[in-house]
Each structure stands twice: as C-alpha cells, then as structure tokens.
Amino acid sequence: MSLRLCILGSGSGGNAAVVRSPGTCLLIDAGLSLRALSSRLAARNLLMDDIDALLVTHTHVDHLRSSAITACLNHRIPMYNHAANEAIFARKYRRFHKLAERRLNATFDDAPLIMNDLTIRALRVPHDADGVTLALSIEHDDGEDCLRIAFATDLGRVPHALIDLFADSDVLVLEFNHDIDMLQNSSRTQYLKSRVNGASGHLSNAQAAAALRTLIARSTRPPLAVVPAHLSRECNTPRLVIDLVRGILHKQDAGDTHLILTSQDEPTEWIDIAAMHKRNLKGLV
C-alpha cells in the first residue's frame, strides 16, 4: 500500500496539490505559476511528465492559471473538469479549446470518477465561483486497506453532505481561511469582508473548527492527519490555527493525529498516509 499527498501551495495566491498512489499521480488544481509548480514538483522529486492527470476544483484563477493549460498541452496531461464548468473555462481561457482538439479534456459529473486506482467523489459546495465548486473525497483501495483523503479548500459553509462524505477519512485537508476579528479589523472593503464571510465565501477558523469537531465525533477513529489549508495571509495566522486545531484534537482524544500546516510559498513534505496508517495499526496491537 502506498498513498502520499503533498500540498504544493495553498492560499489565494495560488493552489496546487499532488496525490500519488502506485497507479496514479494526480494534480489537484494548478493555480501556481508554471515556474513555481515545476520547481515545487521537482523539490518532491516529480517532473511535469510524471503527472497523469489534472483535476480542477473550480473556476477561480487561484486554482487554474492559463499557463497550466499550456503545460497540459505540452506534457499531454489530461485535464478533468466538472461538466458544469467546461463552458466557463472555454470562455475564460484562450487555449482551452486546444485541450479538446488534442483529446486532453475529460469531463465528469456528480457520479464517482474512477481514475486508475483512485476513486474520486466530488461534492458541490457553496462558493462564489462561476459554475460549480467541488470538495473531493479521494479513495485508494488495494484490496487489503482502503485509505481516504478529504479535500475542501474553498467553501462558505459546511453542508451536511460534506460531513457524511468526509467522516472516517484518513486525512482531512480543510480550509481555515480567516479569523473573524482579523477580517473585520482588516483594511479590506466592506464588500470584500461580506463576500469572504458570506455563505458562499470562505470558511472562518470558527466554522472550520466546528466542522472538524463534528467530523471527529462522527468518525469511528480519529483522522491520521489534519491539514489546514487556504489560510488568509492578511486575516489569519498559522499560530491561531495551530492552537485551535491542537485544542480540538486534544479535547477529542485525537492526540496522535498529525497536524500539518500548508503554506502559500512552499510545499509541505510528502504526507505518507500509508506509512501513518501502518504505524497506527502497529500501535493498536
């Protein structure tokens, strides 16, 4: 069993993550510059040519740069988009139609998507992008063990269906976007404050904390790792998020759960989910 995750960059300045199983190297979102994307992949011993597919969660530019379309064309990487976002991407990106011409565009709908040895379930979440915004549950089952990554980085509130989908996941990548007080006291316009804080904006620390508490309570075992993501530079601090998440893990008897913080500027280490799972099993014996 092998399943690893690396968040290459996270935040409104650009997002990308890699999931690597024995049969698939999946890039989730490509909102970093090509230079940053390539160098951060290289820092984790990957080349663009190693990527089997790109899956884009929604139509905001911090999740898909136009240069990523060029990279897909140059490296023959198929791009997977929800069918509801195809026309929007076609309008937004000049070279998007070339993907279809070269048979590099793949659409999916709300049904589970099987990609080699990964099963991806996408759930529509409230967010103010044109088209649909997706939270993802990515499952790798080798017949012996089944490991799941939950991934939700842009959402204004947490729907019940998200809790159902994410309960019992091994790794939770969850948006902790802003601290409400820091947002209200920031120099942002009232319009932007309302947008970020609205039901279709981004999750506050308090909203994400409530979701994390509910998820742990609803799960039969604590997650192996919690990965807070999409932190606002201006309206949040890593310290606030670390203290908040540690407090929740401690209170809910999940002290062994790893806390891995993401950054806008550098990739996380490889999060070796299979190895954590193995260690956890040994601990139970």
- Choose between 154 and 179: whose C-beta lies nearer to Zn ion: 154
- Choose between 24 and 232: whose C-beta lies nearer to Zn ion: 232
- Choose between 60 and 277: whose C-beta lies nearer to Zn ion: 60
Q: Which two tokens stand for residue 70?
A: 């060029």
The CB-of-230 to Zn ion minimum distance in angstroms stands at 6
The CB-of-127 to Zn ion minimum distance in angstroms stands at 6
The CB-of-196 to Zn ion minimum distance in angstroms stands at 11
**Residue 187 to residues 62, 112, 241, Cα–Cα distance (Å):** 21, 42, 21
Binding mask 21-50 for Zn ion (x = CB under 5 A): ------------------------------
Contacts of 62 (CB under 8 A, 6+ apart): 11, 12, 13, 14, 15, 31
124 binds Zn ion (CB under 5 A): no
The CB-of-211 to Zn ion minimum distance in angstroms stands at 17
Binding mask 46-65 for Zn ion (x = CB under 5 A): --------------x-x---
Map the footprint of Zn ion across residues 146-165, applying CB under 5 A: 154
The CB-of-278 to Zn ion minimum distance in angstroms stands at 33
Binding mask 62-91 for Zn ion (x = CB under 5 A): x-----------------------------
The CB-of-262 to Zn ion minimum distance in angstroms stands at 12
- Choose between 137 and 177: whose C-beta lies nearer to Zn ion: 177
Size of the site for Zn ion (CB under 5 A): 3
Question: In the complex, which residues of this chain contact Zn ion (CB under 5 A)?
Answer: 60, 62, 154
